[in-house]
A and B are shown apart, each in its own frame.
Chain A
């Protein structure tokens, strides 16, 4: 299924915290990232990919236009999706993640804005976010062609002339030949990735020093 990258504008993260940020001891455990699509009309969202950085749970809210006349509504399409099974340990902390349309709670048609709500309840981490955020929409389906009439409705074939009995049945021969051809094509197309095993360059392996780059 093809997909097209949708250019988006990721606004800066906003920390949600109760009380005054300067005086309170702890670090924020909830961050909000707004994603807008300034140059694109409301589209059908296919896939969201990103690289996690120590976010434990992700919720996504999406702003949808249900029809041309009503105002856009905010809906929750993903609730508390777990990115780190144990928020205190490194498992899943820097993984690449893809979220698809079929995993969402609501229909993803006509999306105009996204809001990602990141949660990290563990106080062990200094910061958390998601990186390399990319939004994809459905690519064009393969164009449907109209076949010419004579291809889709072949003329009923004439009865072949009865050949001498000693010759093999032509339809059987043609199917066997087709299969052999398919096998040879497959063998020709496959290539191995086996190494050759040489470590020297033209028989020479005189080295100076190890390289640091």
Chain B
């Protein structure tokens, strides 16, 4: 009991400390001062009267949402003896692996820099600044020569690193035994099995209505859809984050989705946020980064070639270029196993006062990075709101898809979960694919790394991302990947090579209902 109480007070202290620096805190302060004018606030019972005022005026709800947001994002306070690296990643060998992977990326970026003789960062001359400001809303029309640039890494390079990940304390014998993993991932992380998944994703069960399935034209709307929409409107009226997160597990109506996601991610468009975005825009205009060219190249290669997303090309530049300049993203490295790259001002190598992070947000984009932003463009049209939503989605979820960690939502755990599900419930298919040299993870890895963006029709994708927000976990990606294989099991058994399997997979949009994962897996139980 003592331990739980002291843990609780530690969590409370941590949340209070975090919220003190936020906009909400100063707003609450201002409201409290202003409320002193009101007749019902008396000095003897100052504290209780102000609390009552906050409850009635809706400010308490905003505070509750902020606290709920912090609890969802921040890991629990760790043991006092644990160093900060332990909070980023508890397993030492994984930290080391992430460190050497990062070093490879840095080397690659440095060599690109020296080969092309382009500086990492430079201040734009005034003429260039004016020009960029003029065409800020149509940067897609620009056709710079990007042929010499290449992406720093692609998902398949990252997969090779994960395949070679080994625990030095683990028995990795050469001979096949009960301890050998048949899949590509050789790390014994704890992943959920079907009974645990069923318990965790209980709202996706056969008996519960789902949007995307139970709102199709054959099903009369009175059975589920109307009621679900009505509840959604009520949740929005109450402005309750926790209720919205619970509600969205059954899918969100298209009309309410933008507001629901903003409520769950605790994004409100205050004038300060718009100002902050404008400040980032100014930073983009003033300084030119090498990373900008990487972003341009990535957008041109991926989103611009996509039937659904090419219309949003300009939005993507506006979001991603500003994202690279946003130093508030640096705070997520406290719980991310990755670390931001460092550099020194020209001529001041080694002097700590001139040490900076590069890029300012510490995130080096890889091939396909812009696909994290593209689906959001369907929901938000105002650049600063779109930007805030993407940033919040990145620091809550997407960063886990490209860093090496033992977190249950980290990409290593997702890969292992996918392989374990497939081996356990489709052993024949798994064996067949392995025999022909088409390990299933090689096909599904790119789906999971991009959170299925670009591999699912947009309405399906948004239903999937509803569930990511609702369950605050990325495990649904691994479950969906396994379900896709289960769905196409018959066809896949006939395939005789990896290339053929790939072709089958990439055969345009995998149009599946989002509920298929649990349906399929429940059938297999």
Name which of A10-18, A28-36, A64-72, A197-205 contacts chain B: A197-205
B49 → A minimal CB distance (Å): 12
Q: B157-197 vs A: 1/0 string, CB under 8 Å? A: 00000000001111100000001000000011110000000
CB distance from B226 to the nearest CB of A (A): 44
Complex contacts, A107 vs chain B, CB 8 Å: none
Q: In the complex, what residues of B have CB within 8 A of residue A180's CB? A: 43
A194 to chain B: which residues have CB within 8 Å?
Answer: 21-22
Q: Mark A165-176, 1 if CB is under 8 A from B, else 0.
A: 000000010011
B38 CB–A CB distance under 8 Å: no
Q: In this complex, what residue of A is CB-closest to B19?
A: A192
User: How long is the Cα–Cα vector from A136 to B91 in the complex, in angstroms?
Assistant: 26
CB <8 Å contact, B358 and A195: no
> From A209, which residue of chain B is reached at the shortest CB distance?
B110
Chain B nearest Cβ from A189, distance in angstroms: 11
Expressed in whole angstroms, the minimum distance between the Cβ of A68 and any Cβ of chain B is 31
Shortest C-beta distance, B48 to chain A (Å), equals 12
**In whole Å, how far is B16's beta carbon from the nearest beta carbon of chain A?**
9
Which of A85, A179, A183, A198 is B327 in contact with, Cβ under 8 Å?
Answer: A198
Chain B residues lying within 8 Å of A197, measured Cβ to Cβ, are 276, 279, 327-328
Does A210 contact B342, Cβ atoms closer than 8 Å?
Answer: yes
In the bound assembly, the distance between CA atoms of A206 and B44 in angstroms comes to 58
Is there contact, CB below 8 Å, between B344 and A207?
yes
A168 to chain B, nearest CB (A): 11
Enumerate chain A residues within 8 angstroms of B343, measured Cβ to Cβ: 207-211
**B119 cross-chain contacts in A, Cβ below 8 A:** 206-208
* Chain A stretch 82-110: residues in CB contact (< 8 A) with chain B: 85-86, 88-91, 93-98, 100, 102
Which chain A residue has the least Cβ–Cβ distance from B171?
A: A124
Q: Which of A89, A172, A200, A208 has a CB less than 8 Å from the CB of B287? A: A200
Residue A49, interface by CB 8 Å: yes
Tell me if A126 is interfacial: C-beta within 8 Å of chain B: yes
Q: Interface extent on B, as a size class? A: 35 or more
- B342 contacts which chain A residues (CB < 8 A)? 210-211, 213
Q: A89-B189, A95-B79, A201-B354 are in contact. Are A210 and B170 (CB under 8 A)?
A: no
Residues of chain B contacted by A53 (CB below 8 angstroms): 169
Binds A, one of B120-128, B247-255, B260-268: B120-128
- Type the 1/0 row for B334-375, where 1 means its CB is closer than 8 Å to any CB of A: 000000011111100100011111101000000000000000
A91 nearest CB neighbor, chain B only: B190
**Bound-state Cα–Cα, A207 to B121, Å:** 6
| Bitwise interface map of B from 451 to 494 toward A, beta carbon under 8 Å scored 1, else 0 | 00000000000000000000000000000000000000000000
Cα of A51 to Cα of B91 in the assembled complex, Å: 12
Q: Is A38 in contact with chain B by the CB < 8 A criterion?
A: no
Task: Establish whether residues A179 and B2, one from each chain, have CB atoms under 8 Å apart when the complex forms.
Answer: no
* A contacts with B: majority SS: loop
Task: Please determine whether B170 and A96 come into contact, CB atoms closer than 8 angstroms.
Answer: no
Number of interface residues of A (CB under 8 A): 53
Chain B residues lying within 8 Å of A89, measured Cβ to Cβ, are: 188-190
Which residues from 187 to 232 on chain B have a C-beta closer than 8 Å to any C-beta of chain A?
Answer: 187-190
B424–chain A nearest beta-carbon distance, Å: 15
A88 to B190, alpha carbons, bound, how many Å? Answer: 9
Q: Which residue of A lies closest to B109 (CB)?
A: A210
Contact B91 A93 (CB under 8 A): yes
Give chain B nearest CB distance to A22 CB in angstroms.
Answer: 19
Partner of B2, one of A94, A100, A172, A183: A100
| Interface residue ranges of B303-340 to A (CB < 8 Å) | 325, 327-328, 330-331
- Hey, what's the 0/1 contact readout for A93-137 against B, CB within 8 Å counting as 1? 111111010100000000000000000000111111000101000
Closest to A203 in B: B123
Minimal beta-carbon separation of A10 from chain B (angstroms): 16
Bound together, the chains give a CA A201 to CA B358 distance in angstroms of 13
From the candidates A93, A175, A183, A208, name the one contacting B346 in the complex (CB within 8 A): A208
A205 and B345 alpha carbons, distance in the complex (Å): 6
- Given known A94-B91, A95-B79, A193-B20, contact A207–B171 (CB-CB < 8 A): no
Give the distance in Å from the alpha carbon of A179 to the alpha carbon of B46 in the complex.
9
- Chain A residues with Cβ under 8 A from B141's Cβ? none
Let me know if A39 is at the binding interface, CB within 8 A: no
Nearest-Cβ distance from residue A4 to partner chain B, whole angstroms: 16
Contact, CB under 8 Å: B110 / A102: no
Closest to A172 in B: B44
Q: Is the CB of A176 within 8 A of B43?
A: yes
Select which of B90, B327, B356, B360 is within 8 A of A94 by beta carbon: B90
A49, A90, A102, A193: residue with the most chain B Cβ atoms closer than 10 Å = A90
Is A147 interfacial (CB 8 A cutoff)?
A: no
A190 CB-CB contact with B under 8 Å: yes
Query: Once the chains bind, are B167 and A199 in contact (CB under 8 Å)?
Result: no
Which A-chain residue is minimally distant from B343 (CB atoms)?
A207
- A54 partner residues in chain B, CB cutoff 8 A: 169
**B3 proximal to A (CB < 8 A):** yes
Does the CB pair B120–A195 fall under 8 Å?
A: no
Interchain CB contact under 8 A, A126 and B169: yes
* A90 CA / B353 CA spacing, docked (Å): 40
* Cβ-based interface call for A212 (8 A): yes
Is B246 interfacial (CB-CB < 8 Å)?
Answer: no
CB of B73 closer than 8 Å to a CB of A: no
Name the 9 nearest CB pairs between A and B, nearest first.
A199-B360, A194-B21, A96-B79, A89-B190, A192-B21, A207-B120, A91-B190, A206-B346, A96-B82
**Beyond A206-B121, A209-B120, 8 extra complex contacts between A and B, CB < 8 Å:** A90-B167, A94-B92, A126-B170, A176-B44, A193-B18, A199-B327, A205-B123, A210-B343
B-side residues, CB < 8 A to A, are 2-3, 17-18, 20-22, 25, 43-44, 46, 78-79, 81-82, 86, 90-92, 103, 106-107, 109-110, 113-114, 119-123, 167-171, 179, 187-190, 276, 279, 283, 287, 325, 327-328, 330-331, 341-346, 349, 353-358, 360, 406
Q: Which residues of A contact B (CB under 8 A)?
A: 49, 51, 53-54, 85-86, 88-91, 93-98, 100, 102, 123-128, 132, 134, 172, 175-176, 179-180, 183, 190-195, 197-201, 204-213
Please, could you name 12 A-B residue pairs with CB atoms under 8 Å apart, sorted by A?
A96-B79, A123-B171, A125-B171, A132-B81, A193-B17, A194-B21, A197-B327, A197-B328, A201-B356, A207-B345, A208-B344, A211-B343
